[in-house]
Amino acid sequence: MRREYINYMPKIPINISFVSVNYYPIHWHDSIEIMFVLKGAIDVAIETQTYHVKENEIEIINCDEAHTLKNGAKDNKILIFYIDPDFFERYYDDVRNVFFYTNSSEQGAHEMEKYYILKKYLSKLLYEFVEQQEGYEDSIQNILVELLYHLINNFHQLIYEEESLKEDEVQFERYDRIVKYVYNNYMNKISLQDIAKKEYLSSNYLSSKIKDAMGYNFNDFLNLTRVEESIKLLLDTDKTISEISDEMGFSHVRYFNKHFKRYYKCTPMQFRKKYKADGGKYEGLKKVKELDIKEAADAVSPYLEDYDRYKFKDKIIKVDFDMSSECGKLEKKFLEVIDIGNAKELLNEENKNILRCISDNIEFNYGIIHGLFTEDMNVFQSKNNGFISWTRVRQVLQFLFEINLKPIILLDKSFESFKEPLNILREFMLYFNETFEKSDFIKLRFKLDDGLSQCLKDGIAEITDEFFDESPLVDYNFDLNICENKIYDTCYMIPYIIQNSINNPENNLCFKAFDGLNDTMKNDNDVHVGDSGLISLDKIKKPSYYAYNFLSLLGSEIIAKGEGYIITKNGEDIQILLYSYKEDIDRLTTFEEIQKERGIKNTAERKYSINIFNLLGDYRIIKYELNEKNGSFYNHWLSMGKPERLTDEERELIKKASVPKISFGFAKKSTVLNIISKIEGYGGTLIILKNVRKHLN
């Protein structure tokens, strides 16, 4: 029996084998077969064509295509994927009559991106099939759906023959209908005129277009289909040649012989005598050796580096703690300072509202402000009497005091460029010492740029000492000249910021409040610009904003801390912060490096089982999750196709979507409360337990 039947596991519409093939005689099956050559080569005869498939190349065999496999090189190793077309039919009608083709003849064709993506899908399927982690059935089905549409969009027979059809949906659908019509009706008397009438086209026009789209004229395509389908009846039945000819739709057996000989170089009768074999003889012809499929899983690992389930293997990180435990105080040095940018930007009401939101939700202590002493702020000495208008400066500083953000005024080269910078500083001190309340004035701080001359630094110190009991000059060692890096927009910032803030405060992170543009940036869009702001150019909260927001919600006492987590408390309330972890997560990598490596496999997924002993009462539970799948402004932009600019409507939609996923729970007082949570890819999860009794009083 040449028709073979593929067995699938329950809920898994796929089967995978890893084999070394010397010879596998003509056979077919109601399954889409994809072959991935990991070593050596194999010759694949699919109906009337033979293809030499080399190492690291792929061949696709469609449903019920008769095919033969022969060793193309010594000791080959072949991964074979069998996919149930019934599963694909749920998502795409009549998939059995959709034919997919790869290019096994053109040198270097399999190095194209579409083949690389195909190999990634196959590698993910193999990994899930072998490891069978929690949820692997759903993962396999999800990958298969993505694979289906990748095949349709990149390997469809019509696109293989005529690449332009990929961009012409109307023409693609037309010739797809024609192909399916032929496959479904080849056994009947059909003509080009019938199809032209259905498509409202002339026969001559359609004839030329069919040849362009399919590589054959209509009659050749129809007769080829009949010949290829006849193979199954020749080898799997005892029907006469005349009966098969009639069943295939040929008007006379001589036409069947003529067209069959054209493609197979022999008559149907000669073909049957050469290849027909009973069950025992047929099985004896097979020369196939099963190999350890885990070896194949290791071989495809380079294609899994960015797969978020890779290397997870259901590892659970177990954390136990008692409510009475305490490891020490949490010093929130990470909230010490934020770079609020150029002073003139805070004359804009929208920017003021955004900074107010940052201050309300994160509560930074100080804000470094640039360009306070500039002409943009009307700071220049009158030519007549040296008068300086401090109105704009006062507006900005008063606003900062209103939102409880103490200003650190940066004095840099632009300040030194004034003719008499020390006189300007003295005028500033005199004016604001009288204008501000003493309690506000003494909050002022100044940071001197390293590039200032020592003479000017000494003069600044002398003037400030006249007005302050303690020096207002700060020596924060922050890099305020941060280089462009697209990684700043991504969820990598969440674990990077949390890890450095909790475990490496000496790294002195200082993020900007807002993204900005300058003439040194190599941006090609207005959305993903690579600046270190917590808020994007489009005024959308970035993952870095939520990293600081989560940190600000931690309690003052540390209960437990480890790789990828910190647990704190405030009185009877508990805060659990989980985040992605790998050995060098505290290193600011580059966007290009992440792209090149295609992710870091050890950050795939971390599953936590947290046991809390001796709860002090009933608790409401609030869970915030932000990661590459939930709430990331950058990933939403990617999903939209990376537009250069956002429309007003798109901007508002992304704003609404760029928030953490929030869920709620309730826990009764108990000896032990167990919380299960996981981190997928780059991201963070904050779980807050609020004591009900405390918050009702």
285-344: pLDDT as tens digits? 889 999 999 889 888 888 887 787 776 555 678 888 887 777 789 989 999 999 999 999
Lowest mean pLDDT among 133-147, 275-289, 634-648: 275-289
Report the pLDDT value the prediction gives residue 598, as an integer from 0 to 100.
Answer: 44
pLDDT at 652 over 60: yes
Whole-number Å distance between alpha carbons of 413 and 456: 11
Number of independent structural domains in the chain: 3
Please indicate, yes or no, if residue 394 is contained in any of the structural domains.
Answer: no
Read off the pLDDT band of 1 (50, 70, 90): low
Q: Do the beta carbons of residue 688 and residue 574 sit within 8 Å?
A: yes
Report the pLDDT value the prediction gives residue 9, as an integer from 0 to 100.
Answer: 84
Range of the domain at 645: 307-330+486-502+547-697
DSSP assigned state of 156: B
DSSP string, 580-626: ---TTTTS---HHHHHHHTS-GGGSEEEEEEEEES--S-EEEEEEEE
Report the pLDDT value the prediction gives residue 573, as an integer from 0 to 100.
Answer: 93
Whole-number Å distance between alpha carbons of 592 and 570: 41
Q: Do the beta carbons of residue 406 and residue 366 sit within 8 Å?
A: yes
Please indicate, yes or no, if residue 424 is contained in any of the structural domains.
Answer: no
Is the same domain home to 293 and 243?
A: no
Is the same domain home to 260 and 299?
A: no
What is the mean predicted confidence (pLDDT) over 560-585? 90
Report the pLDDT value the prediction gives residue 242, as an integer from 0 to 100.
Answer: 94
Is the same domain home to 196 and 91?
A: no
Residue 497 sits in a domain whose CATH number is: 2.60.40.1500
Q: Do the beta carbons of residue 374 and residue 343 sit within 8 Å?
A: yes
Strand 58-61 versus strand 32-39 pairing type: antiparallel
Is the same domain home to 142 and 186?
A: no
Is the same domain home to 644 and 564?
A: yes
Q: Do the beta carbons of residue 530 and residue 486 sit within 8 Å?
A: yes
Is the same domain home to 567 and 655?
A: yes
Is the same domain home to 572 and 612?
A: yes
Whole-number Å distance between alpha carbons of 692 and 684: 25
Is the same domain home to 137 and 75?
A: yes
Strand 573-579 versus strand 557-562 pairing type: unpaired
Read off the tokens for 391. Answer: 């109105």
Please indicate, yes or no, if residue 221 is contained in any of the structural domains.
Answer: yes
Report the pLDDT value the prediction gives residue 602, as an integer from 0 to 100.
Answer: 42
Is the same domain home to 111 and 20?
A: yes
Please indicate, yes or no, if residue 19 is contained in any of the structural domains.
Answer: yes
Is the same domain home to 222 and 139?
A: no
Residue 169 sits in a domain whose CATH number is: 1.10.10.60
Query: Which residue bears the tokens 């796929």?
Result: 14
Is the same domain home to 108 and 233?
A: no
* CA-based nearest residue to 448, from 552, 373, 532: 373
369-425: pLDDT as tens digits? 999 999 899 887 666 566 888 999 999 999 999 999 999 999 998 898 888 899 999
Please indicate, yes or no, if residue 672 is contained in any of the structural domains.
Answer: yes
Read off the tokens for 361. Answer: 């939700």
Higher pLDDT, 111 or 157: 111
Query: Three-state SS across 298-355?
Result: HHCHHHHCCCCCCCCCCCEEEEEEECCCCCEECCCHHHCEEEEEEHHHHHCHHHHHHH
Report the pLDDT value the prediction gives residue 281, as an integer from 0 to 100.
Answer: 85
Residue 118 sits in a domain whose CATH number is: 2.60.120.10
- Alpha helical stretches, state H, 436-560: 438-441, 454-467, 493-503, 543-552
Please indicate, yes or no, if residue 38 is contained in any of the structural domains.
Answer: yes
Please indicate, yes or no, if residue 30 is contained in any of the structural domains.
Answer: yes
In this structure, the chain runs to a length of 697
pTM value > 0.85? no
User: Residue 318 forms beta bridges with which residues?
Assistant: 609
Q: Which amino acid is at 324?
A: S
Is the same domain home to 490 and 592?
A: yes
Whole-number Å distance between alpha carbons of 417 and 411: 11
113-154: pLDDT as tens digits? 889 999 999 999 999 999 888 889 999 999 999 999 999 888
Helix, strand, or coil (residue 487): helix
Please indicate, yes or no, if residue 442 is contained in any of the structural domains.
Answer: no
Whole-number Å distance between alpha carbons of 168 and 465: 74
Report the pLDDT value the prediction gives residue 338, as an integer from 0 to 100.
Answer: 94
User: Residue 688 forms beta bridges with which residues?
Assistant: 575, 622
Q: Do the beta carbons of residue 381 and residue 388 sit within 8 Å?
A: yes
